[in-house]
């Protein structure tokens, strides 16, 4: 059982972070894209062009032997963080105009166009190739998720030092943290300590 001591310390006798089910369908790729950076551990798979290229190849968004440029890596990071801003807004956070502007600029640069694939299937595609096409694919999946309504359930954890992207499978869409056992309880413990400090110094 998780508890908080009198001095505000979090006591977790045995803590196992349950894995949340990933986002459904192709939206899971967008979730993976967002989670290429771990803020708490200070790890970023897009920290170098080699790392960015490797991730794209692993995700089947870039062919073997292909690689991304430093400029493409920089654009991908900008789009990733703008999308994180939107997922934080999905979780009750503010929507910053700069994030919307970044995504609109990226969509315009990639000249996304509609392509019909079957009688009931269509998607947005880019005229570019390589890493540029990969980024366009991410943007098109976000658009599709917004249309089908699943995007609203992709959220960034409210904990400022986490911001991990998770899919809210709850019936009433009420989840706030990537893990109630970890970020939820840490946030509650910090709030408790702040209140205790305010009372003791007030």
DSSP for the chain reads --EE-TT--EE-SS---PPPPPPSTTHHHHHHHHTTEETTTTEETTSSHHHHHHHHHHTTSS-TT----HHHHHHHHHHHHHHHHHHHHTTTPPPPHHHHHHHHHHHHHTT-EEEEEETTEEEEE-S--HHHHHHHHHHHHHHHHHHHT-GGGEEE-SSTTT--EEE--STT----SS-IIIIIHHHHHHHHHHHHHHHHH-
Mean pLDDT, range 144-156, rounded to an integer: 96
DSSP for 106-123 reads HHHHTT-EEEEEETTEEE
Q: Quick: pLDDT tens for 5-26.
A: 444 444 433 333 346 899 999 9
Whether the per-residue pLDDT at 85 is higher than 50: the answer is yes
- The pLDDT of residue 3 is 40
Record the pTM. Answer: 0.81
- Strand-pairing partners, residue 154, are 167
- The pLDDT of residue 68 is 96
Mean pLDDT, range 59-69, rounded to an integer: 94
Whether the per-residue pLDDT at 163 is higher than 70: the answer is yes
Cβ-based neighbours of 63, under 8 Å, separated by 6 or more: 57
Closest by CA position to 27, among listed 157, 165, 126, 131:
165
- The pLDDT of residue 167 is 96
- Delineate the domains of the chain, giving CATH numbers in brackets: 19-178 (1.10.3300.10)
- The pLDDT of residue 114 is 87
More confident residue, 200 or 101: 101
- The pLDDT of residue 182 is 59
- The pLDDT of residue 188 is 57
- The pLDDT of residue 111 is 83
Lowest mean pLDDT among 81-85, 120-124, 181-185: 181-185
Mean pLDDT, range 47-75, rounded to an integer: 96
- The pLDDT of residue 183 is 84
């Amino acid at each position: 059982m998780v508890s908080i001591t009198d001095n505000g310390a979090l006591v977790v006798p045995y803590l196992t972070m349950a894995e949340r089910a990933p986002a459904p369908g192709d939206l899971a790729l967008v979730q993976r894209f967002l989670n290429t950076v771990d803020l708490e551990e200070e790890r970023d798979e897009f920290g170098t062009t080699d790392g960015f290229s490797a991730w794209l190849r692993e995700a089947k968004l870039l062919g073997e032997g292909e690689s991304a440029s430093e400029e493409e890596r920089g654009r991908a990071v900008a789009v990733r963080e703008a999308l994180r801003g939107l997922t934080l807004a999905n979780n009750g956070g503010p929507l910053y105009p700069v994030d919307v502007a970044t995504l609109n600029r990226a969509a315009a640069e990639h000249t996304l166009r509609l392509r019909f694939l079957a009688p009931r299937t269509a998607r947005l595609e880019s005229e570019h190739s390589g890493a540029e096409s990969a980024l366009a694919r991410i943007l098109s999946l976000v658009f599709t998720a917004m249309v089908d309504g699943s995007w609203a359930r992709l959220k960034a954890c409210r904990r400022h030092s986490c911001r991990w992207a998770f899919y809210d499978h709850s019936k009433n869409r009420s989840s706030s943290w990537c893990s109630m056992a970890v970020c939820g309880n840490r946030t509650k413990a910090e709030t408790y300590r702040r209140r205790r400090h305010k009372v003791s110094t007030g």
